[in-house]
Amino acid sequence: MKKLVAILLVCLFLLAACSSGASNNENSGDEDKVTISLFSSHGQFNKGNFGERMVEEFMEANPDIHVEISYAHGSNYNDTLLALASSGDLPDVIQPTGNFSLIDLIENDWVQPLDDYVRDGFRDDFPDSAFAEGINIIGDDTYTFPRIVAKRGSALYYHTDLMEEAGLDPNAPPQTWDELLEMSKQITENVDGAYGFAVPLNEDFPHVILLAQAMQPTLDTNGFDHQKGAYDLDSPHVIEAMEFLLKMRDEGVIHPNSPTQELLDYQGLWANKQAAFGFNGHHFVRVNEFELDGVEDYNVAPIPVLEEEMQHSQLSLGADFNAYISSTTEHPEAAGKLIDWFSSQEFYERQQAEDLLLSPLDSNLDEIDNEQLKNLANVFEETVVARPVFEQDEAAFKVKQEEAALSEPQKFWQVVQGAYIGEIDDWQSELTKINDAYNERFQQAIENVQAEGENVSQDNFTFPDFDGTKDYLVE
């Protein structure tokens, strides 16, 4: 028995030694030095990237603060953040993915206003449109701030060298669907190992909606029409765009690996010059430069439209979100200093110049050196429209939250994939079926929120005077 007691005591001592070791580490060095943790979902904070360098500079300028950076991508980030929150171990500063909205974060008590911990006149350094109720502020409380240009969307990325090899003018990218098809045919026929077009069909990527938006500019990438206040995934324009995609498939100009491609595979395929044209988002210039070994000979143009006189139009929120101070941090002042650095003119300037992400400050947008980034900024300037922000209404936002908690119907991209590989013959009926299911779910969410006593209806999401071609806020 004595031996047993002795063994248990040894175990306890070992445990105590381990735990005291950990706390000693935390307080090692200068007693006044505080350590804060930053958990980011953005690739720029991955090891050796721009974000890490900037944090090192911050620590040099603030020797009393040590910042521990951790990074996770996409769903890994989401899982980890949920786990950390559940165990009460939220990092001091979080930079979540778009899956976590401000209201979600506040409702779960994960974040706190940053106004008391950042410089005076914090909001004044940004354009008025940079902050919007429900997106990054609630009343007078500022929770987060823009990271990159808020008006952003997708563009056509094309390889100029492949166009040239196929006998096409590299300075004249396809502007219409017909041109996209014809040029894709020429590239497929004339360039060995390359196809005209590629799409990541095994991923929630809105290529069909991007094609439809020129004809239905009030449609967002989730298939929600902000003018109608309802989902419109089976609209004639979406069907027309879908038919065009299938026509491209039938013509054999789409890379045959497309049905199994997820976003990262697709980006790699495009970067390896296996496809000349592809749609992608604002971050792709950065990805091409830093994560795909510096892709060369490419450029950026607006998404092709059905007819020449049309203008592609895509919707975005007027405001953006970046880092938050967690509600459980013991060092909000240090976290505030870090946020001051992340939101400084210098940080944004260098982020644009060194990390190829467009600045949220209008003054920086005139100073873009990188050709593709410059073109991308022009594409966004031409095509991106600020949509009505229904999130400003708390009850309306609750509806969207409730909707997300209800069982989700089959996803649009899955129907596109099913139709593309021939698993769904009557895909138009399937689109109607899922559109009805999405609208039923939306109505159910409205009813559930109404049952809680909130005054909300479909009207909160319907903006008849919004035509999708002009910023709603400006109007």
Binding region for another protein (CB under 8 A): 4, 7, 75, 78-79, 82, 85-86, 99, 104, 108, 193, 201-202, 204, 222, 255-260, 262, 265, 274, 401, 403-405, 407-408, 410-411, 414, 417-418, 421, 423-424
At closest approach, how far in Å is the CB of 147 from another protein?
20
Radius of gyration of the chain (CA): 25
Closer residue to another protein in complex, CB, 11/172: 11
Residue whose CB is less far from another protein, 86 or 429: 86
Whichever of 81 and 210 has its CB closer to another protein, that residue is 81
- Round to whole Å and give the CA distance between 104 and 399: 12
CB of 378 to another protein, least distance (A): 30
Instruction: Supply the minimum distance, in Å, between the C-beta of residue 6 and another protein.
Output: 12
Smallest gap, in angstroms, from Cβ of residue 211 to another protein?
20
Q: How many helices (H) and strands (E) does the chain have?
A: 16, 15
Q: How far is the CB of 175 from another protein (least distance, A)?
A: 28
Nearer to another protein, 345 or 410 (CB): 410
Rounded CA separation 164/168 (Å) = 5
Q: Which is nearer to another protein, 183 or 275 (CB)?
A: 275
Query: Helix 412-420 crosses helix 427-451 at what angle (to 10 degrees)?
Result: 170
Q: How far apart are CA 380 and CA 155, in angstroms?
A: 8
Nearer to another protein, 201 or 373 (CB): 201
Closest to another protein by CB, 27 vs 75, is 75
**CA separation for the pair 160, 169 (Å, rounded):** 8
Rounded to 5°, the CA angle 199-291-180 comes to 30
Query: Do the beta carbons of residue 213 and residue 384 sit within 8 Å?
Result: no
Cα angle vertex 455, ends 452, 458, to 5°?
Answer: 105
Using CA atoms of 422, 426, 430, 433 in order, give the dihedral in degrees to the nearest 10: -170
Sign of CA dihedral 219, 223, 225, 228: positive
How far apart are CB 234 and another protein at their closest, in Å? 18
Q: How far is the CB of 225 from another protein (least distance, A)?
A: 17
